[in-house]
Structure 1
Amino acid sequence: MERRTRSHEPSSTNDGEPFTTAQANETVFWPMTPGAHRNQARLALAPVASRAVRIVIE
């Protein structure tokens, strides 16, 4: 069964690309890769988002 995205579900982007959508109580794991990255949280179908966070992995 396909899961439908709701407007209040958090989603995230990694380096400007969509990464995942999850329920508010779900933990999301991002596979770390070396380099500089930019992550941002947002609501899936709404025009709101957090400030981008820069992460550097050596």
Structure 2
Amino acid sequence: MRFTWIRELPSYVIQHHARLRVLDLSDMKNLVALPSSVCKLKVLMKLCVLLLKT
């Protein structure tokens, strides 16, 4: 399932996936913010985001 319309990643995603190793947000073109809880992903090895010029 694709969530390209999401503007902010919900913090519950981080809470329920604390052992996540890869977080690929590159298809989320409307994303403008990450929750501060993203730093709780202690085993995260790769974070992919798409940077868009505004």
- Report the TM-score, using the length of structure 1 for normalisation: 0.28
Higher-RCO chain (CA-CA 8 Å, sequence separation at least 6): 2
Q: Which has the higher strand share?
A: 1
Q: Which has the higher helix share?
A: 2
Question: Which has more radius of gyration?
Answer: 1
